[in-house]
């Protein structure tokens, strides 16, 4: 049996990884199923990653992340400690998930589609079509944050605040203590905002998600603290991740004119196209776990407390599971599902709504703007995430030419 130090080493700081992360991860996956890095143990094989995501011996890595960041005692850290991110498998995590799973499962989430489509249409209608536009600011950020406003009965105008705050609190994943002050300030503001939204909604209940969560609380399924934490969590996680996933999908699909034309002519292809985007260029490059008891993976002893990372980007570019993984193909059949949203009791509760948001954006833009031109695009890649750093496009270049 080997020790962690016996594993081959990976370097996420290399220029090659920063510019071509999936090619680097694919190359590593061809050589190794398991490796090590400065942050912990790295799983590179699809089956190993999928198993780790649902393995009961591996718990959430979030508490250790808070230690790395050095968040001070206070409301922000109290929220983190009591939110679902801190809870491992067991009755507490199950009880927290059950009410939200009922409201945001695959069938229940379909009730959001009409309103998500309306949000997408409203946002797109406001974008100039005859000039280059920053689509991060005018499209990617507003849509998920406006959907959050719809969920909570908040004014549409609050979307800019939600987007800005979500980006700030998501700095927890940088693992950089220099960001702790900004993270705390953003959480403090978000906690106050959510408390006010709950107070306002209790006085005027509707048919939105927040009203349903309040009803679940009144029925005893959640405590008042759990209610607050879920409403914070929906803003914390959904907006930032969804914004980047929308941007990634738009760049990968509109950047391939033949595919873009197919999607505009046949919207039924959009779900498959979005799945291939999430396979080929996932927002979540890896997901973190922590060993809860001494265990062995691939004949390697992992002591309790060891950080373990399931490298989704490597799994999705593993040619043992996806033939020609570096080929973007929306017609892929009979291949394993992508791992973008985790799995089991650690799966993302908003995965169906997030996917719906991306699908509705792509369907509308491909139909309305078949000549959409990407002017400038850019990505940044960390060991954990893909982020869209630049996305400037002209929705209808022919209008600009005519002028």
Between 180-203 and 209-218, two packed helices, what is the crossing angle to 10 degrees? 80
Round to the nearest angstrom and report the end-to-end CA distance of the chain: 71
pLDDT at 81: 82
Average pLDDT over residues 327-338: 93
pLDDT at 368: 97
Q: How far apart are CA 34 and CA 308, in angstroms?
A: 10
Q: How far apart are CA 287 and CA 312, in angstroms?
A: 7
pLDDT at 400: 64
Q: How far apart are CA 400 and CA 394, in angstroms?
A: 9
Q: Alpha helices of 37-127 — where are they, by DSSP H?
A: 46-54, 62-69, 75-82, 91-104, 106-109, 113-125
Percent of the chain at pLDDT > 70 equals 97
Q: Dihedral, CA atoms, 143, 200, 83, 50, nearest 10 degrees?
A: -30
Architecture per CATH, 4-402: Orthogonal Bundle (1.10)
pLDDT at 177: 85
Select from 84, 80, 87 the least CA-distant residue to 187.
Answer: 80
pLDDT, one tens digit per residue, over 209-261 is 999 999 999 999 999 999 999 999 888 876 788 999 999 999 999 999 999 99
Half-sphere exposure of 244 (CA within 13 A, CB side): 23
pLDDT, one tens digit per residue, over 8-27 is 999 999 999 999 999 999 99
pLDDT at 237: 76
Mean pLDDT of the chain: 91
Task: Classify 89 as helix, strand or coil.
Answer: coil
Average pLDDT over residues 123-128: 96
pLDDT at 61: 66
Give all strands of the β-sheet with 133-134 in edge-to-edge order: 133-134, 386-394, 373-381
pLDDT, one tens digit per residue, over 269-315 is 999 999 999 999 999 999 889 999 999 999 999 999 999 999 999 99
pLDDT at 33: 96
pLDDT, one tens digit per residue, over 144-154 is 999 999 999 99
pLDDT(89) > 70: no
pLDDT at 175: 76
Which has more confidence, 350 or 40? 40
pLDDT(403) > 60: no
pLDDT at 100: 83
pLDDT band for position 402 (cuts 50, 70, 90):
low
pLDDT, one tens digit per residue, over 154-184 is 999 999 999 899 888 888 777 788 888 898 8
Average pLDDT over residues 58-87: 79
Which has more confidence, 98 or 375? 375
The answer to whether the pTM exceeds 0.85 is: yes
Average pLDDT over residues 332-339: 91
pLDDT(68) > 80: no
pLDDT at 265: 97
pLDDT band for position 31 (cuts 50, 70, 90):
very high
Among the ranges given (197-206, 332-341, 372-381), the one the predictor scored with the smallest mean pLDDT = 332-341
Structure tokens that stand for 311 in this block? 């490298």
Structure tokens that stand for 253 in this block? 């699909």
Phi first, then psi: what are they for 185, rounded to 5°? -60, -40
**What totals of helices (H) and strands (E) does the chain contain, helices first?**
20, 10
Domain segments of the chain: what residues?
4-402
């Amino acid at each position: 049996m080997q020790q962690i130090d016996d594993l081959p080493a990976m370097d996420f700081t290399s220029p090659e990884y920063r510019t071509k992360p999936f090619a680097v991860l694919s190359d590593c996956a061809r050589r190794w199923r398991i490796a090590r890095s400065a942050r912990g143990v790295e799983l590179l094989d699809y089956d190993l990653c999928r198993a780790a995501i649902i393995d009961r011996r591996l718990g959430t890595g979030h508490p250790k992340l808070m230690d790395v960041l050095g968040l001070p005692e206070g409301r922000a850290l109290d929220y983190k400690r009591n939110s679902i991110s801190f809870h491992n498998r067991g009755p507490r995590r199950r009880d927290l998930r059950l009410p939200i799973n009922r409201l945001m499962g695959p069938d229940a989430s379909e009730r959001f589609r009409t309103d998500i489509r309306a949000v997408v249409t409203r946002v797109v209608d406001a974008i100039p079509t005859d000039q280059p536009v920053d689509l991060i600011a005018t499209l990617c950020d507003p849509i998920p944050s406006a959907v959050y406003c719809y969920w909570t009965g908040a004014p549409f105008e609050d979307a800019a605040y939600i987007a800005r705050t979500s980006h700030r609190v998501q700095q927890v994943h940088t693992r950089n203590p220099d960001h702790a002050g900004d993270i705390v300030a953003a959480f403090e503001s978000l906690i106050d905002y959510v408390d006010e939204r709950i107070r306002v909604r209790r006085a005027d209940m509707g048919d939105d998600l927040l009203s349903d969560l309040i009803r679940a609380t009144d029925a005893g399924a959640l405590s008042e603290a759990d209610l607050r934490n879920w409403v914070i969590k929906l803003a914390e996680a959904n907006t930032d991740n969804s914004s980047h996933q929308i941007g990634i999908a738009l760049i990968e699909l509109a950047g391939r004119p033949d595919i873009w034309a197919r999607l505009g002519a046949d919207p039924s292809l959009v779900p498959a196209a979005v799945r291939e985007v999430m396979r080929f260029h996932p927002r979540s490059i890896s997901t973190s776990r922590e060993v809860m008891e001494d265990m062995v993976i691939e004949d390697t002893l992992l002591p309790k407390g060891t950080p373990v990372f399931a490298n989704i980007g490597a799994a999705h570019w593993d040619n043992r599971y996806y033939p020609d993984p570096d080929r973007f193909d929306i017609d892929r059949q009979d291949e394993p599902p992508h791992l973008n949203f985790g799995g089991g009791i650690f799966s993302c509760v908003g995965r169906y709504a997030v996917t719906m948001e991306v699908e509705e954006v792509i369907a509308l833009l491909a139909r309305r703007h078949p000549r959409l031109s990407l002017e400038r695009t850019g990505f940044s890649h960390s060991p954990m995430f893909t982020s869209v750093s630049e996305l400037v496009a002209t929705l209808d270049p022919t209008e600009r030419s005519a002028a």
